[in-house]
Amino acid sequence: MTTASIGRPLPRVDGRLKVTGAATYAAEADVPGLAYAVQVVSTIAHGRIAALDASEAEAAPGVLAVLTHLNAPTLPYLEHWSLIDPAVGERLHVLQDDRVRFNGQPVVVVVAETVEQAEHAATLVRVSYAEEPADLDLPARLDQAITPEAGLPAGSSHLADYQRGDPDGALAAADARVDHEYWIARENHNPMEPHATVARWDGERLTLWDKNQWVTNARDEIAAVFGMPADNVQVISPFIGGAFGTTLRTWPHVTLAALAARQVGRPVKLVLSRRQMFAGTGCRAETWQRVALGATRDGRLTSIVHEATAETSTYEQHTESTLSATRFLHASPNVRTGYRLVPLHVHTPNHMRAPGEASGVFALECALDELAHEIGLDPVELRLRNEPEQDDEWGLPFSSRSTRECYRVGAERFGWSARHPRPRSMRDGHWLIGWGMATATYPTLRAPASARARLLADGSAVVEAAASDMGPGTYTSLTQVASEALGLPPERVRVVIGDSRLPTTPVHGGSMTMASVGSAVQAACLEARARLLEFTAEPNESYQRILARAGVDAIEAEATSGPGDQGARFSMHAFGAVFAEVAVDANLGQTRVRRLVGAYGAGRIVNPTLARSQAIGGMVGGIGMALMEHTVIDRQNGHVLSANLAEYLVPVNADIQQLDAIFVEETDPHVNPLGVKGLGEISLVGVAPAIANAVFHATGQRIRTLPITPDMLLPTAWSTT
């Protein structure tokens, strides 16, 4: 019994459920007797609640309860930390005091018979504040930046400052130098599905239907908040309508749903509005960076200095791996990186797709493009001349590194050799045409994971794990891994995920799901198959006949798979090269991305169709980061001015033209048993700098701030005849 499933472009096994509406998302949980909760949020950024009158709301039709800091029970908020939480600080304790820490903080929750009644009653709550001065302006507070207390990111062995060699001395002595500052605006995740939780108590047991990327962590967090055994909490999240990191953490609305359900003695549904998501469920932090490069006349890097300062909240220190790639991506004997934070009266930022790397690589790869222009060298050739032989940060060999091949095949597919190097030298009517490129990288991560496999008497199999699927195709890829390991056709395998009662798995993020959960599924299936074959000496006998003859209804095996010592012996990353063509309207400064080519060395590709989908999705996100996405904050009161999809722009179909993803052949036996590296993050990394570099090539205007908007390019139009 053999079947080759891995590597096939298998259609999504959950596709029919989604297109027919049969897939159930958090807000669609069919729970009898639902009541509905709506949050009231603060309208100031810093201060305290001076007075609160809920009497009119309490008397409104259908209202069951109005919970505030004045009547909410005290919650234990026992210590709980996971790798997605800031290592320093304390999460928001919702409705536990009168303090306001950011604009948009939940201060009241109204529960009613219908959502309309709850929404109406919420407008009747009267809250007045004793406002205090708020720090809200990152540019104005750069001189007040602090060093993170726990290094970066949480759990990293690196402190905020790193140095090898004498980077400042080498920079001063370099034949060629560039030294510039770069800014990235705050971004919000904005998935299609809003945050939603349905909470139901059955005595001392709590069930949560929650939009969540890590159900076991949500279980443990809520158990800690309420001071109850984790076994008494079940979190269910079989389908997620996009997340991009926004549901990595368990935000206060989950606690409020559970608290409200306990208070009214009924199941309660709480769904955040789009505006509330902008102010309370994380964001990519606004970031300032400085990159200084020194090089010889022939383009050999002699010095890299990369500094970054990012916003965080006043009550937690959120850190990211913004500078990690700088220390190994390009060869240089002299490197210095430094990371700082500015505490502001905002809610805590959160990991957003390609966290850290997307921000840091933008500045680094733009600076490299500036250096290439300075010394008159092709941008691809500059990178080839600085391709490292090993990870110079750790002195370790790469488990595999296909960067040279990515440059080659990407440039060939794009037609890079036809690029005229002089800015403003390529036109199409009134459009200025620019070509740019950048390198991409993301670490190959793996965490311990468990899975269970059952072979059934009818010859089918069920595979179970607590993992989530926010859209990359986890159901399908795990089906393919199980199919191949069991020697069964994919249609005979059913994957069950998204329930904290199932075998424990790590967070569905960081491009680690297939490396971690896929390896565990493979191990469990191989063990189940081995146990089955103990009943027969005939390897080609069907599972049904083996089980029937043995008088066994099912064979079950559970396995845990985790990283060994590979991380101490190898530097493990995915790599890629992104090529972009843009057209800039010479009169209006409007930019259009005409095509993107991304070439990636991402290990073994489980499903080419899913892989391409992941890659072009990341490219679309990169286009948004480069040209559109900007969370605008009122620097006076912290109010998010662009908290809707009319004023916060994301790419739509009309913005997307030609996207091309190439996967170079790469075998890596060290990263994990499947040899996979993950594509969710790396496909976004490198897109924004490739576009920014293309804009420079088109216009001669170097824009070092994201997003690049038409007003920034108007001087080009004014100088055009």
Of 679, 684, 699, nearest to 578 by C-alpha is: 684
Dist CA 231 CA 220 (whole Å): 9
Cβ-contact 363, 289 below 8 angstroms: yes
**Element at 546 (helix H, strand E):** helix 543-550
Query: Are the C-beta atoms of residues 163 and 307 closer than 8 Å to each other?
Result: no
Which of 353, 485, 436, 428 minimizes the C-alpha distance to 2? 485
DSSP three-state, residue 10: coil
Tell me how far apart the terminal alpha carbons of the chain are, to the nearest angstrom: 71
Round to whole Å and give the CA distance between 96 and 226: 13
The continuous run of DSSP H or E covering 608 comes out as: helix 608-627
List the structure tokens of 565.
């010592």
Q: What amino acid positions are annotated as catalytic residues?
A: 681
Q: Is 662 helix (H, G, I), strand (E, B) or coil?
A: strand
Task: Name residue, tokens 């991560």.
Answer: 445
Amino acid making up residue 79: E
Strands, E, within 549-695: which ranges?
Answer: 554-561, 573-585, 591-601, 658-663
Contact criterion met (CB below 8 Å) for 431 and 583: yes
Order of strands, sheet of 431-443, starting from the edge strand that comes earlier in the sequence = 426-428, 431-443, 573-585, 591-601, 658-663
Q: How far, in Å, CA of 228 to CA of 219, rounded?
A: 10
* CB 525, CB 461: distance < 8 Å: yes
* Neighbour count for residue 141 (Cβ, 10 Å): 15
Structure-block tokens of residue 168:
């400042």
In angstroms, the CA 181 to CA 163 distance is: 20
Angle at 110 between CA 106 and CA 113, to 5 degrees: 150
Q: What is the DSSP letter of 516?
A: I
| CA distance linking residue 250 with residue 222, whole number of Å | 8
Strands 35-41 and 449-456 come out as unpaired
Q: What is the three-state SS of 579-592?
A: EEEEEEECCCCCEE
Q: List beta partners, residue 207.
A: 200, 234
Q: Please name the amino acid found at residue 10.
A: L
Chain-centre distance for alpha carbon 373: 32
* 127, amino acid identity: V
Whole-angstrom distance, CA of residue 679 vs CA of residue 221:
28
> What 3-state DSSP class applies to 515?
helix
Closest-CA residue to 337 (of 307, 312, 369, 373): 307
CA atoms 590, 595, 598, 604: torsion sign? positive
**Contact (Cβ atoms closer than 8 angstroms) between residue 588 and residue 570:** no
Q: Helices (DSSP H) in 487-563: which residue ranges?
A: 513, 519-533, 543-550
**Token pair 């809610």 is at which residue?**
347
Listed in sequence order, the residues at least 6 apart from 515 whose beta carbon sits closer than 8 Å to its beta carbon are 444, 445, 446, 671, 672, 674, 676, 677, 678
Closest to 219 (Cα-Cα) out of 25, 505, 14, 446:
505
Q: Report the distance separating Cα 9 and Cα 5, nearest Å.
A: 9
